[in-house]
Structure 1
Amino acid sequence: MSAAPWDSAVARAIELRRALHAEPELTWAEHDTAARVRAALDGLGIAWCACADTGTVATLAPAAGGRHIALRADLDALPIHEQTGLPWRSRREGCMHACGHDGHTATLYAAAAWLAAVEDRLPGPVTLLFQPAEEGGHGAERMISDGALDGVDAVFGWHNWPAIPFGRAVCPDGVVMAGNGTYRLTLRGAGGHASQPELCRDPVLAAAAVVQALQQIVSRRLPAQAATVLSITSIDARSNPTVIPDDAVIEGSFRIADAADRERLGELMTEIATGTAAGYGVACEVELFPRYGPTVNHAEEAACYRGALAAEFGPAVLDGGTRLPIMASEDFSYYLRERPGAFALVGAGDDQACHQVPCHSARYDFNDALIAPMARVYARLAGAPLPDAPVAHPLPDEATTEERQ
């Protein structure tokens, strides 16, 4: 592909990203997003099929004889009220692309445009996975069950990461991101008048003790080598100033780097929460909700990915200052349980304020400067020829999508 068509593809990808950002949709509700993606593929002359309802799968060079790889992007947004003030900010109240899935989708579109233009020169088939419901919805699992990996030999994905400097990345052999889960502890006591606590079994006091006790699991009951996080994020014991309530509910999240530690952590949480509550005359019901497993890279594919990143960003691309595994979680883990592959975290941090705040922040925005180089990385993984000239710069920030059309 010559410089002009490639630059045009990148510019269209940035427009698509900002259009998606302005109209975000939550997990399993990505209907407009799916329509935009499918229309964009139609515009490239790429045949597609629906998968997992709002997901989309397309395969280029299906008859090529080489290794069949898959490249993935995620589609869904988060229930967050955006506070960026950008021209392309969310138009949907309480819904925001606060994790960069809009940028991942736009990057895969740019790669698709490039790969379609050189389809007859691809050494093997390339499947494009536009996946819904990454944010806790197990969308990858549903994509797999609907056949998204049929015939695929290896699968690759990535996530932007503002805490890593732009031009740096991590893609280790083995665990790159943690597994996770959530929990709910329901403490059932006996409420009553605040002036007579001796006649009550106070679930609020018990909840306070349980919180303190749970915080000691990681430091005192698990090996120091086990990368584990246990967070208490909510205590709900609503009442009024003169009433001790009957119940209190504690909720939170846990992260584990080794899937084998999940069962042990659950056992310890149950033992400590129920035992501590019992000391206050309060019963405790423990509910554990496993979500994603650890994202575990395969060594051969991770080495190939690191090579593609180094070829694009330079030999210093690997970021030695980032402690691994990242304790956030990814449902890309489902793909890596089914096929060899690798997942990379690519630095988005630069001197712009919105590119320094973390994912899931109301002030976050995806760094559009990542679209072109990561599309090129995807093309390198596919064994495609590269464009002849440097990539285009992002479109001016002040121009909205409507103004450019």
Structure 2
Amino acid sequence: MFLFQDEFSGARQEWDAMIGAAVEFRRTLHANPELSWREHKTAAAIRSALDALQIPWRACAETGTIGLLAPHAAGRRIALRADIDALPIDEKSGREWSSQNDGVMHACGHDGHAASLMATAVWLKQFEDQLPGPVSLLYQPAEEGGHGAKRMIEDGALEAVDVIFGWHNWPAIPFGKAVCPDGAVMAGNGTFRITLAGKGGHASQPEACRDPVLAASAVTLALQQIVSRRMAPQSAIVVSVTSINAPGGDTIIPETATLGGGIRLARAGDREVVNALISDIAEKTAATYGVIASVEHFPRYDATVNEPAAASQMRAALKAELGVDWTSAETPLPIMASEDFSYYLKEKPGAFALIGAGDGDPHHHVSCHNPEYDFNDRLIPVVAKLFARLAGLPEQAIPHADTSNGALS
């Protein structure tokens, strides 16, 4: 069975029991991962749990779900977001709850994000009458390159929202630490494809050919000068060539070669400049080898840029939960990975935090998108309490960090 039917209920629960149920929920999701826009069983599990909690919900962007708490409260309307999709990776973690779907894995922790929001839903439901304003619970599909946030917005996810908050687990940050700056917290990204058309032939007669392999090598090296020589040193930019495909043979110079790669940037205005430089350098470098370069650019996500007031509120909640030394000062910002949470922050004030997962367990220390990665379940109570504070739940309704028996202190 995909979901333990009685895992969540509308009855009042102790904190520890609720967290235990959320961990089991997370591991069930982990064992049954689904790729972007295919999260049908995941959506069914989430909706079944919300039904058990008597939290009304509606479908959004097909496999997305929006739950609503305290709909008639008069205060600020907030949204809390979790992503739910997995990645096309063969899992090698060896966990008891490893993926049962060949070639698909929750290698980025979206199972944990969804479970943390479900834990939040359980706790907020029990104190719903104490919430100062409506709370929307956004379970979003297709974050992994599928622009799910954009589709959620198009389907009305932010229509009744004043401010939105989100987070991502981050193995490179120690457990108990986090980052949530004003401004850019994660970079924007894009990809490119460069097709080099030459003239193939016998490797013994290079003068009769126009070698696209040689041109591809030269273009790869030349593109590295964009960051080091064409952009200001203060710019947070990455240009990476990640693949070269030139099918030929030991004695065959091929007709074409294709380069693939990606860019990362913290400022939206740099995208046009960097893309123009990639095209210009590729075309002119290839021309010196008698090869024609055709360049295609594929924009993905913009930078995730926190609104200062919302970020300040999130930092206060992080301090209350993690303590005065919560900030990971060693973490360079912005992180050069990307997030489609950026779509929400272009429409509404809000903030996004990266919360540390590294606690010595090797599965919690390897980077996201690694086949040996696993989400750190210790983050579930941390985020549930963080979200409860952001939702405006009174402090006396939030378990203290030293709570051991589930009772509120």
Task: Provide TM-score, normalisation by structure 1.
Answer: 0.95
Counterpart of 1:380? 389
2:299 to 281, 290, 315: 290
Is residue 333 of structure 2 the alignment partner of residue 324 of structure 1?
A: yes
Q: Distance in 1 between matches of 2:404 and 2:383?
A: 13
- Answer whether contact 1:100 1:365 (CA < 8 A) is retained: yes
Q: In the alignment, is the contact (CA less than 8 A) between 2:47 and 2:57 conserved in 1?
A: yes
- Deviations along 1:260-294, one digit per CA (max 9) or x if unpaired, are 00000011001100000000000000000000000
What RMSD over aligned residues (CA atoms) do the two structures have, in Å?
A: 1.4
- In 2, Cα distance between the equivalents of 1:111 and 1:100? 17
> Alpha carbons of 1:289 and 1:41: their partners in 2 closer, same or farther (altered >3 Å)?
same
Instruction: Determine if the alignment matches structure 1 residue 340 to structure 2 residue 349.
Output: yes
Match of 1:48 in 2: 57
Cα distance between partner residues in 2 of 1:208 and 1:153: 50
* Residues matched between the structures, number: 393
1:282-318 deviation per Cα after TM superposition (whole angstroms, max 9, x unaligned): 0000000000000000000000000000001101101
- Please state whether the residue corresponding to 2:378 is helix, strand or coil: helix
Please point out which of 274, 288, 292 is paired with 1:265: 274
Partner of 2:262: 253
Residue of structure 1 aligned with 2:162, choices 142, 146, 153: 153
Deviation at 1:5, TM superposition (A): 2.3
Q: In 2 relative to 1, CA 391–244 (structure 1 residues): closer, same or farther, beyond 3 Å?
A: farther
Distance 1:391 1:200, change over 3 A: farther
The DSSP-based 3-state class of the residue aligned with 1:368 is coil
CA gap of 1:213–1:392, structure 2 versus 1, over 3 A, is: farther
Give the partner amino acid of 1:196: Q
Is the 8 Å Cα contact of residues 12 and 126 (structure 2) preserved in structure 1? no
- 1:211 matched to 2:220? The reply is yes
Q: Which residue of 2 aligns with 1:85?
A: 94
Distance in 2 (CA, whole Å) between partners of 1:241 and 1:312 is: 61
Aligned partners of 2:131, 2:41: CA distance in 1, in Å? 31
Residues in 1 aligned to 2:183 and 2:228: alpha-carbon distance in whole angstroms: 24
Identity, in percent, stands at 61
Task: Name the stretch that deviates more: 100-109 or 237-246.
Answer: 237-246
Deviation at 1:43, TM superposition (A): 1.2
Task: Quote the offset at 1:2 in angstroms.
Answer: 11
Q: Which runs of 5+ in 1 are unaligned?
A: 394-405
Give the deviation of 1:170 after TM superposition.
Answer: 0.2
1:130 maps to a residue whose letter is Y
> Which of 9, 34, 54 is 2:43 aligned to?
34
| Aligned equivalents of 1:137, 1:221: Cα separation in 2 | 31
Report the TM-score when normalising by structure 2.
0.94
Q: Structure 1 residue 12 and structure 2 residue 21: aligned?
A: yes
Asked whether 1:65 is paired with 2:78, we answer no
Residues 1:237 and 2:246 aligned together: yes
